[in-house]
Amino acid sequence: MAKEILSVGDLRRGSEITDAEIEAATDAYLKDKSLELFVFKSGHRVDVAKAIEMHSQAKKLLAKEGIPPGLGRTMVMTAVVIGFPVQG
């Protein structure tokens, strides 16, 4: 049987990743968009830029100029939560 691929949100529900870590990943990306990977305490890593790329709505909205900062933050955080991390 194939192993289920868990999202960051799935890992959050399983208490392997905290809300604070998701917020930290979001903040790190917003501070430095060249950030390649964010590493969670559990050892899982997520590529925030790739998560945004895979989330068509976030990608489209974040490409626009002048969006409210709160909306941009929400879209990045949403992309992180639905993103697929790798272990190790």
Over the stretch 60-71, which tens digit does the pLDDT of each residue have? 999 999 999 999
What's the DSSP call for residue 86? E
β-strand partners of 76: none
| 15-64 pLDDT per residue, tens | 999 999 999 999 999 999 998 899 999 999 999 999 999 999 999 999 99
What values do phi and psi take at 40, rounded to 5? -85, 160
Q: Does residue 38 contact residue 24 with C-beta atoms inside 8 Å? A: yes
Q: Rounded distance, CA 32 to CA 86, Å?
A: 21
- Encoding tokens for residue 78? 């949403």
